[in-house]
Each structure stands twice: as structure tokens, then as C-alpha cells.
Amino acid sequence: MLQPDRALAKVVLIAAAFSVIVFSPDRVSAGPQEYGYLVRGGPPCAVWWAEGAYKVMRDDPVPTAAGATVKIAAARNEYEPFLIVLKPATRLDGVRVTASSLTNEKGGTIGPDAITVRHVGYVEVTSPTDGLGRAGFWPDPLPPYDGPFAAAAGENYPLWITVRVPKDAGPGIYKGEVGLTAEGWTCRVPVELRVWGFTLPERSSVRSSFGLPTADIKAYHNLETREELEKVVDLYYQDMREHRVAPTSPFELYPMTVGTSGVFWKGGEFVTDGVHAGRRALKVTDDTVEKNIAAEYDAPVPLDDHSPVKLTFWARTAEAGQKYTVLAEFFTPEKTWIAGANLLQVFEGTTDWKQESIEFPRLPGDASSLRLSLFPVFRDNAGTTKGTAWFDDIVLQAAPKGPEARTESLLPGGDFEMPLEGMKVAVDFSEFDRGARRVLDELGFNAFDLPLEGLGTGSFYSRQEGTFCGFRQGTPEYDTLISQYLKQVEDHLARNGWLGREYIYWFDEPDPKDYPFVREGMLNIRKNAPRLTRFITEHRPGPEIMDVSEIGCTIFDRVDPKAVAELAPKGREFWSYLCTGPKSPWVTLFIDHPAVNMRMWLWMTYKWGLKGILVWRADYWNSPTLFPPDMLQNPWQDPMSYTVGYGVPFGQVSHWGNGDGRFLYPPNRDPGKDKTKYLCGPVDSLRWEILREGIEDYEYFVLLEKAIAAANGKTKIKAAAAEASKLLDFPATLFATGKDYTKDPLALLDLRARVATAIEKLIPR
């Protein structure tokens, strides 16, 4: 994702004008106009409703337009929301909400279990994202209704109600009601749902990538075990499926395991410069303060007899006097670690090669193997030490037995002179397959970031060359081993029917200076696994880099519809993304911007021939750059997303925008104090719901497009198809560019209804 100063459009400064508007932000472009429909005036409580397309502010006025019946429409297999808003003249206590079944005149029923009721929660914006936003309480989280509640006097109290239309629901008008009761007060709101005579597909037509790393989920849900984390993350994945979006990295908990034979070591890098002897040495770097980094001998070293053992090796360090650590751990024949038997020694390094040794005079009585680890620095409990060390010519010797016994090293490859022809890669897919059967086969996600090792990484800010099995990108060993690896992955995806849904997202937003590096990496993927899909985020789209990836994802304000129209027919797929940028007047994702934005993003996506959408995170609740390690940001109280990374020093307050990377909320509303274990899914946001509405709109357009194509040559509906095709040429009154668009959601809903009617006319009965 982009740094704020690299992605922002010019901000339209309308703060002065906006500060006097007390109406919904969705009506900004049209001036101070009311929205919604009055069900009943007060006192003691006014009740009104609105389409599920608005952000109801606490001080928005009760509408004057009469409309006692909620009227909504949806296809089969679609979710359709609406708002019922209470505005009490005096405080209401014990407010209860009930939803009846919806039935049609033919006896068809949509039961109460298909209707969910949620509160519209508010977060306090103290620092507006930009000139369009304003300080105050903004609606965003949608916590579930779980029983009687109190509604304060003089303020709007919105309820977000969603109907899930079953796949087998018959078309027609369904009627029911929502009941509202409190102490001494009752109101019944009629609901009328029109079910269209077509069905939305199970798998979304638009692809997506929404980051959902699991560390914050574990922290905010107070989870302890792997099983608990898997259970809760699966609930998040189910929520994403219901919203027709895909998590970026669903295999974070289900990795492939890469094994090698003939290499002998894992961790560190084999280098050819500055070796002690021979062709190679092992360089080990600890560059993080979060854990201890080490190189390990890849397999347990067998100890067939319990003779005295001696380890000798050569080492040097980046800094004179730098301490480094060598550790031997012992295991029983059952591969159980033997407590209290570690042999660990800390050495003081020099910048020149120096030989050291460790004596093992007595081995634990039941030890059958040992594991050897090399730490480049002093190994402390927190892993806070950093540094680099080199190792070479490691020999582990047992004392010879018998007159003909010879002294031989127990460590093949201890001199790092392993022949290339003896190196082989074997990928264990067992955990990956367990995850894939769930997220790809059962949940049906249509896109996933394929987790691959060794490809390098980076962005415009910094980059790092790939290292695979200890060998640097560009070496013969790297080329040979990465080729074996990529071919195995490609073949495995193909055999299981998963090939084509993957994308390889290994470099983020390259600058021109990065193009040669990116081109080399992309061509290497293509050479070794030509069927895998290459992906890149582009904030400088151009021919210099477009030809080496199948999917290009451009920050929204730099999408070029003409370039998409030219290149898409040649087989290239285009996505767009939103993050900390752009800001107003563009379509954005922020809490303190109009609700129509998330829906409009998908309308523009369809119009411009884009096939996917991306947001870097959906659960960015905490900024470790700003908050101390023992403290978590509370997203229920602080809606700002603070900058992390990109050279921002720890403790600096730097804003990305309210709600950037945060579409979901943790159920824990006080993460600093509440240590309850939450084995449940997320709390959705209003923006998350409206995003789904946009994705469902996209499905309408695709269905109409297919119906028009199917009508070609059919005389009876040819004229209707020609007329329907005009609906997909959206008028400029809806939008002309990504920053010139209507803020009135009714304009979208009106065209959506006409699209639905056209689909019904064209599809076979």
C-alpha cells in the first residue's frame, strides 16, 4: 500500500461549508436535503426508515416524506439491508425488536432466521481524514442486537436489518413486519420485499483481496491455542464469504512445507565471498528484535554410541567482540527433547576467521540424536539482539573405537561443499491441502495470494533479493532448486482444480528503479511455472512493467479506463485498490466519507472493465509503530488508522485516515482490560455491508450482460435486449470519473431496479 504522500489526490477543502450541514454525508453533493421515510411521528418516539445505503448521523432530522412501509427488492441468494431509526422525545428503556416471517400470496415464506437485526454503533472522529470529513460521532460498527436496550432522547437510534433471500425463494412480493416495543410504547413497521426472478451465483464474479493476518485476531480475541485460532479465523472467513470477498492469505495457518535433501542446513545463506576454505561459508543474520534467528542442521544428528563428542568450527563476526551462540539440544529415540541436557556456549567473535571448539565429554544417557543451532548473536530470552556471523568447516567428531576405527565427521555438509547434483526439493502439501479443501473447495473463494518461498520481496520503499534453501537469487543452486519447487506447486494446484484462482503478489508498487528487479523475478516465475498467475500493484502503470504480469492492480485514482480497454482484450486482468489514498474528492473507504463510496467503487469497477478489488487489510486494529508492545489500540474508541512502517519512527503520530484497512471490528470492546476469550466471528461495519451491496450490483450487471448475449438471434426478445444494453452504459449523472460522481444512493438504486426488471424480461422462464 502507498504512503500517504504518494497516493493522495488534491483535497477539496469544503470544511467550512460542510460544518453547517447537519444532514447525512451521503447528501453532501445535493445540499441539505432530507432522506428516508416517516413511519410514525412522536412523541414519545418518532420512527422512520431508509434504504440500507446511508450513514445515519445522530443529528439527522426526521424525514417529512411519508412511507409507513419498508420497501426493498433483492434477487435470490442476495442480502438486502434497510434501516429503521428511532428518535425518542424522551428516553426509551427496554426497547425490543422482533422480525416476523415474510410471506407471499402463494404461501412462500422467508423465515425470521433469515433476518438479522444489528445496532448501528458510532465511533468518535477527533481528527477528520481530510477536508470532507468532520469531527464528531460517525456510524460504522454494527454490533448484534442481543436483547432489550435503551434509546437516548433527542438522538437517532438506527437499527441495521438485513434479509437473506434463500436460493429457492419464489419470485414475487413478500410481506411481514418489524415489531418495536418499549415500556408503554409499541410500533409495528410493515415490510415489503420484492424477490426478483433470478439468482445471484454462489461464487462472486468480481475477484478480491482483503488482508486478514491472524496475529491481531489472536490478540483481540484473547486466544491461546492453535485450535482456537483456527476456529475463530474460520468464522472470519465465513463472514468474508457471505460478503463475497476473499481473504488475501488464507493459507497463513496452512503453509506448504519445503524440504530439501543434499543441502543439510536451513536458515542462513550460503555465500562464496570471504570464506574460510573451499567454495562456500554460511552467513547467518539476525535483523529483528522480535525473535532469535538461527541456522540449524536440517536433520537430527544420530548418536549411535555414547562416545565423547567434540565440535570444532571456524567463525567470524561483523563486529569485533560480538558475542554469538552455539547450541546443541538432545533427543530420545522417541524424538522427545531431553530437559536439562542442553549444551550451549557463547563465544566472543572477531572480524577474522577463528577456530573454536566445544567438548561433549558426557552425553545424556538416553540421547540418540542432537540438534545443532548457530545463532549469530547472544541468544537472549526476548530475541532483541541483532547481528551477523559467518561459519565454516564445522566438524562433529566422536572418539574412535577399535584399532581400525577412523575419526569422521557426524555432520555431512559441515563444510558447505554440497554438490548441486545431489540437491533435491520435495514439497509437503498436507497442511496446505487441509486449508485448501476448506477455503477453496467448501468456502469457494475465487482468489488467493499463493504463498511461495524464495521470490524476494519489496516495495518502492525497500526491497530484498530472493533466497531459497540458503542460496541467493541468481546463483545456479537457486535457479535449480526454485525451478523444482515452482513446478511442484504448479502441478499440485492443477491436479486439485485450484489452478487459476491463485495470484503471486510478491512485490508492491514498484518505482521505475525497481523495474529491472521485478522483471527478473516475474520472468523467473514464467520460465519455471508458466501457468501460475503473476500479480502486481502498480502506482505508476505503464508498458515498462505491465508485460510481465497477468494481473495489474492500480491505486484507484490512477486507473486508466482507456488502457484497460486496450489491454484487457489481450488477456491482461486489471484490478484497483483503495487504502490511505486516494482521499476526497475521489471514491474512498473512510468512515468519515459518504456511504455511497463503497458501492460506487464496484459500479466503476464494472464500467471500466476491472475484474478485482483489493484493500490491504480488513482487520487493522492496532498500529505497533505508535502503541507500545503491551498496549492495544481500541478501534471502538479510536477510529484512526495510524501509519506503520515506511520509516516512521516508533511513537510518531502519523495518520492514514479513519477506518483505513478496518472493515471488521473485534468483539472485544476494551482490549486493554477485557481478557475474555471470544470464540466468535467479527463485528461487521456499515462500510462492509455497503461494499457487499456494490458487489451484488456487479452481479446484476454481469447477469444482464450474459442475458443480452444469450438473446442475440432470438427475434422475440431481440428488441428488449437492445433496449436493456443501454442500461449498462451508465449515465454521466451517476459518474463521469472516479472523483466526479453522485452522492445520492437513490440514483443507483433506481438504475439497479431497472436492470433487475430487464434481466427478468430476458431470462427464460
Pick the more confident residue, 98 or 512: 98
Confidence check: pLDDT of 723 > 50 = yes
Q: Are 267 and 296 in contact (CB under 8 A)?
A: yes
State mean pLDDT over 357-373.
Answer: 89
Give the model confidence (pLDDT) of 648-688 as tens digits.
788 888 899 999 999 999 999 999 999 999 999 999 999 99
Question: According to the model, what pLDDT value does residue 20 have?
Answer: 31
Q: pLDDT exceeding 70 applies to what percent of the chain?
A: 93
pLDDT of residue 413: 95
Three-state SS for 569?
A: helix
In order of their start, the domains of the chain are 18-199 (2.60.40.10), 264-417 (2.60.120.260), 695-762 (no CATH)
Name the grid cell of 688: 462492509
DSSP class of residue 675 equals -
- Choose the weakest-confidence range: 22-31, 78-87, 229-238, 756-765: 22-31
Find out whether 633 and 661 touch, Cβ atoms under 8 Å. Answer: no
Average pLDDT over residues 96-110: 97
Contact assessment for residue 263 and residue 485, using Cβ atoms and an 8 Å cutoff = no
Within 10 Å of residue 413's Cβ, how many Cβ atoms? 18
Q: How far apart are CA 78 and CA 201, in angstroms?
A: 9
3-state DSSP call for residue 346?
strand
CA-to-CA dists, residue 377 to 319, 327, 371, 656, 687, angstroms: 10, 12, 18, 36, 47
Select the more confidently predicted residue: 11 or 412: 412
Q: What is the rounded distance in angstroms from the CA atom of residue 632 to the CA atom of residue 219? A: 9
Cis peptide before 594 (omega within 30 of 0): no
How many angstroms separate the CA atoms of 759 and 753, rounded?
A: 10
Instruction: Report which DSSP code applies to 87.
Output: E
Confidence of residue 407 (pLDDT cuts 50, 70, 90): low
CA distance 678 to 666: 9
pTM given for the model: 0.92
Q: Confidence class of residue 312 from pLDDT cuts 50, 70 and 90?
A: very high
Report in angstroms the alpha-carbon separations of 535 from 49, 500, 502, 543. 43, 12, 9, 15
Nearest to 445 by CA among 234, 690, 616: 234
Provide the pLDDT for residue 26. 52
In the predicted model, is pLDDT for residue 21 greater than 50?
no
When pLDDT is averaged across residues 407-411 and rounded to a whole number, the result is 76
Residues 658 and 592: beta-carbon distance below 8 Å: yes
Mean pLDDT computed over 439-448: 98
Average model confidence (pLDDT) for the chain? 92
Count of beta carbons in the 10 Å neighbourhood of residue 64? 11
pLDDT at 32 over 90: no
Mean pLDDT, to the nearest integer, of 408-416? 89
* Distance from C-alpha of 448 to C-alpha of 443, rounded to nearest angstrom: 12
Q: Provide the pLDDT for residue 650.
A: 82
> 402 pLDDT band (50/70/90 cuts)?
low
HEC per residue, 710-742: HHCCCHHHHHHHHHHHHHHCCCCCCEEECCEEC
Alpha carbon distances (Å) from 729 to 425, 611, 735, 736: 52, 17, 11, 12
Q: How confident is the model at residue 398 (pLDDT cuts 50, 70, 90)?
A: confident
pLDDT tens, position by position, 173-231: 999 999 999 998 999 999 999 999 999 999 999 999 999 999 999 999 999 999 999 99
DSSP 513: G
Shortest CA distance to 760 belongs to which of 20, 172, 91, 256?
Answer: 172
759 has a pLDDT exceeding 90: yes
Length of the chain: 765
